[in-house]
Amino acid sequence: MKALLEKRSQLMTKLDEHMQKDGEIRIINQEELEEINVMINEVKEIDTQIEKSKEIRNLKNTKEMKAEDKKDMEKRELLLNGQEVEVRDMTKTNVKGELVTNGVLVADRAKQLGLKDFARIEKFNGNTIIPVQRNKMGKLVKATELAEISKKDVLVEQVDLRPEKYALLTVVSEELINDASYDIEGLIKQEGNQAIDETIEGMIADILNKATGSVTVKPKAEGVITLEDVNNLYFGLKAKYRKNAIFVVNDEHLKALAGLCGTDGHPILVRDLVNGMQFKLMGKPVVLCEDIENMIFTDLEKAVVAGVGTNAQVKRSDDAFFTTAGVAFRTTIALDAKTCIEQAIAKIA
């Protein structure tokens, strides 16, 4: 292809030289006219070869189309025909190339991690009973012939997740629907998944705000966050929950933390080198959530469990926004969120 384009460019340069002189069209004789006709025919032949090459490449791409791409095209056709389709994919690929469920943490430098990336996410289609371990086995003891081995029960309780239907309307103009080059199914996927994620995070934040059995740390001064408050919050959470704990803050908390320095004079809030848009505090991830009322330090996987429907259903309607030339797509999914171990939550309040 490159050689053809270069040859065409050279021929067009020669044609310009034959036809023009000093920017003016020159008079040509019969011999020059014949040379020009030969070059024009060569250019036309090259154009034909280029078009054939493009056609062959397109046919090859169509033949090698992945099964996932064909499936997406089928979904798009069903969606535009007003039929209900499933677009919520609960699996994605982590940095090791393994398929993982939505709730599993996936490292991504370009992404700002949210609450749902640290919480326990369970897929469900109906009512789901989730076992929750309230305490751990503890340490082993030395076993002797005369001493009875110590006994300790492992207490496991249950959390009952009950799916409730959540819905959202996405309105698209008829112009975009009629534009064959526009990926309407991709738009619904993007908008729907973002809305679902925001809903889940809002539910988790509401649970954290309302947790009554959490560890409460009183601030040194009202409306101000000090270094002592941060230390008290960190150590207020039991040691067994600190290993995988995160700080959850709103924008005002983040602004206050940005101005705090440790005893060594260095800022306590540092940029996370793995996730470029994230911060770390005392070596722990900092998650920004505007719905959070009090600064929180929590092992979110132990504190909250969220149930998310395996798939979201999307259906088209041409009636609701007929007068405004809009087409509505209704996205529905089953969601629920419950507390597990409230002692895995510490907050400044």
Helix then strand then coil, % of the chain, to nearest 5: 40, 25, 35
Note whether residue 104 is domain-resident.
yes
Same domain, yes or no: 43 and 121 = no
Note the pLDDT of residue 298.
95
Same domain, yes or no: 216 and 341 = yes
DSSP state of 146: S
Same domain, yes or no: 146 and 271 = yes
Same domain, yes or no: 35 and 92 = no
Same domain, yes or no: 210 and 97 = yes
pTM for this entry: 0.60
Q: pLDDT tens digits, the chain, 349 residues: what are they?
A: 667 777 888 888 887 777 777 667 777 788 888 888 888 888 888 888 888 877 777 666 555 545 555 666 666 666 666 666 665 554 444 444 455 444 444 433 345 678 888 888 887 766 666 665 555 555 665 665 545 555 554 455 667 777 788 888 778 777 777 765 566 667 777 777 788 888 889 999 999 999 988 999 998 888 789 999 999 999 999 998 999 999 999 999 999 998 899 888 889 998 876 666 788 999 899 999 999 999 999 999 889 888 888 777 788 787 767 777 788 888 888 888 888 888 899 999 8
The total of structural domains in the chain comes to 2
CA distance 322 to 81: 16
Same domain, yes or no: 126 and 180 = yes
DSSP state of 124: E
Domain extent, residue 10, equals 2-63
Q: Are 14 and 7 in contact (CB under 8 A)?
A: no
Same domain, yes or no: 58 and 96 = no
If you write DSSP's letter for every residue of 263-284 in order, what string do you get? Answer: TTSSBSEEE-SSSTT-EEETTE
